[in-house]
Amino acid sequence: MEGASFQGKLFIFTAPSGAGKTTIVKHILKKYDHLGFSVSATTRDKRAHETHGQDYYFIPVDDFKKKIADGAFIEWEEVYSDQFYGTLQSEVDRIWGQGKHLVFDIDVRGAKNIKSTYGDRCMAVFVRPPSVHTLIERLKNRNTETPESLGKRISKVKKEMEYENCFDFTLVNDILEISFLEAEHIVETFSQRTPAYD
**pTM (predicted TM-score):** 0.86
The pair phi, psi for residue 74, each rounded to 5°, is -85, -20
> Tell me: the pLDDT tens digits for 13-23?
999 888 999 99
The model's pLDDT over 93-104, given as tens digits with 9 standing for 90+, comes to 999 999 999 999
Q: What is the CATH number of the domain that holds 86?
A: 3.40.50.300
Quick check: is 157 in a domain?
Answer: yes
Q: Would residue 134 count as lying in a domain?
A: yes
What's the total number of domains in the chain?
Answer: 1
With respect to residue 4, please indicate whether it lies within any of the assigned structural domains: no
CB 125 within 8 A of CB 11: yes
Residue 108's domain comprises 10-192
Strand partners, 125: 13, 169
Length of the chain: 198
52-77 residue pLDDT tens: 999 999 999 999 999 999 999 999 99
**Interhelix angle 147-160/132-142, nearest 10 degrees:** 150
User: Is 85:68 a contact under the CB 8 Å cutoff?
Assistant: no
